[in-house]
Amino acid sequence: MSKVFIDTNIFYNILFETGLTQIARKLLEDYEENMFYTSITVVNELLYISTRKHYQTTGEISGPYSLRRLIASKGYPKLIVDGIRKLLRDLEVEVLIETVGYQDMIETASSLNLLPSDTIIALTCRHYGIDTILTFDEDFKRVPWLKVIP
């Protein structure tokens, strides 16, 4: 049994029906015999983008600042929060605590040309001995210690 990290976009495409939903489902089925992991950064991103998608769908926001005001007044949609919790529980995903130092993060982001959040994810995988990531993000292909699926 191997350790497999699940990135934000896989979860998102499970929570919301998109052109990539069937591929995301198939990936999870193909790797279900493995141990699934994710991180606080992924949960953070997933909560934010799912909340934004929900409020855009309802027509309640038009831009990022209106989302901040809406969250301050209405909070996070119960449907989204419950959906994320259920997805993580049903897939038996362990959410990892990140132990990334800022110097390592800046050095790795600079040397691999990664966004900061992607760098934190990559370094978290390395720290926990995870060498496989399920993601649609091509940037992870620049990370030498990760095998990117698909």
For 71-82, what is each residue's pLDDT tens digit?
Answer: 999 999 999 999
Q: Is 122 exposed, middle or buried (0-12, 13-18, 19+ CB in 10 A)?
A: buried
pLDDT at 65 over 80: no
Tell me the pTM. 0.95
Domains of the chain: 3-148 (3.40.50.1010)
User: Using 50, 70 and 90 to split pLDDT, how confident is the model at 40?
Assistant: very high
Largest Cα separation within the chain, whole Å, is 45
Kindly report, residue by residue over 116-133, the tens digit of the pLDDT: 999 999 999 999 999 999
